[in-house]
């Protein structure tokens, strides 16, 4: 196992962690001791970057507790409590308790209305918010997802032709 990632800033329990996956961000809440709790579509692989694009068509997700460095993988991350000026954060004790109680729960998932950012903002602020879902972003993600499927089909056909 690798050593935990150095923190770009001091992480505090209850902080929202934004993990850059290239075309989108994965979100988690820091719960202390190097761990985060996050909502992960069953098709998403921690630290997978572009290969986790399959989360576009997922309809369920599981709440997981993982070490931050495992979830981040090779991607970059930062603390982003972006709604602190608009909404009052819940008490840290309540954020952590609610997050821990949710671990293992399978939940409905929608990239538009019930994604990982909605999950963590609901924990921190009591309001489910996500700014990352935009028409342009979804069109871009859909194009990448379509290309991924088409490439997979081509590779499968080539493999089948070699076997014949």
DSSP 52: G
**Cβ(39)–Cβ(15) under 8 Å?**
no
For residue range 81-127, list pLDDT tens digits in order. 999 999 999 999 999 999 999 999 999 988 888 899 999 999 999 99
Q: Say whether 41 is catalytic.
A: no
Phi, psi of 116 (to 5 degrees): -65, -35
Active-site hit among 28, 40, 63, 116: 116
The whole domain housing 20 covers 16-133
Catalytic-residue membership of 118: no
Q: Is there a domain that residue 110 lies in?
A: yes
Establish if 11 belongs to a structural domain: no
Q: Is 26 a catalytic residue?
A: yes
User: 14-72: per-residue pLDDT in tens?
Assistant: 999 999 988 788 999 999 999 999 998 876 655 554 344 555 567 899 999 999 999 99
Which of 65, 73, 51 has its CA nearest to residue 144?
51
Which pLDDT score, from 0 to 100, does residue 50 have?
38
Q: How far apart are CA 28 and CA 68, in angstroms?
A: 9
Determine the angle formed by the axes of helices 92-102 and 116-125, rounding to 10 degrees. Answer: 140
* 157 within a domain of the structure (yes/no): no
* 10 inside domain: no
Residue tagged active-site, from 15, 16, 25, 26: 26
Q: How many domains does the chain have?
A: 1
* Domain of residue 70, CATH code: 3.90.1720.10
Within-domain flag for 75: yes
Q: For position 101, what pLDDT does the model report? A: 98
């Amino acid at each position: 196992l690798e050593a935990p990632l150095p923190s770009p800033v001091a992480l505090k329990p209850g902080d929202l962690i934004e993990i850059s996956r290239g075309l989108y961000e994965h979100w988690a809440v820091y719960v202390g001791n190097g761990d985060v709790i996050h909502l992960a579509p069953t098709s998403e692989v921690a630290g997978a970057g572009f290969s986790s694009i399959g989360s576009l068509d997922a309809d369920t997700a599981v709440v997981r507790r993982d070490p931050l460095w495992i979830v981040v993988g090779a991607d970059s991350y930062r603390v982003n409590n972006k709604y602190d000026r608009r909404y009052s954060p819940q008490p840290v004790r309540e954020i952590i308790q609610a997050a821990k109680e949710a671990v293992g729960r399978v939940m409905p998932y929608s990239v538009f209305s019930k994604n990982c950012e909605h999950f963590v903002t609901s924990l921190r602020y009591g309001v489910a918010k996500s700014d990352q879902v935009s028409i342009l972003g979804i069109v871009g993600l859909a194009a990448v997802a379509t290309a991924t499927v088409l490439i997979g089909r081509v590779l499968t056909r080539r493999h089948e032709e070699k076997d014949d």
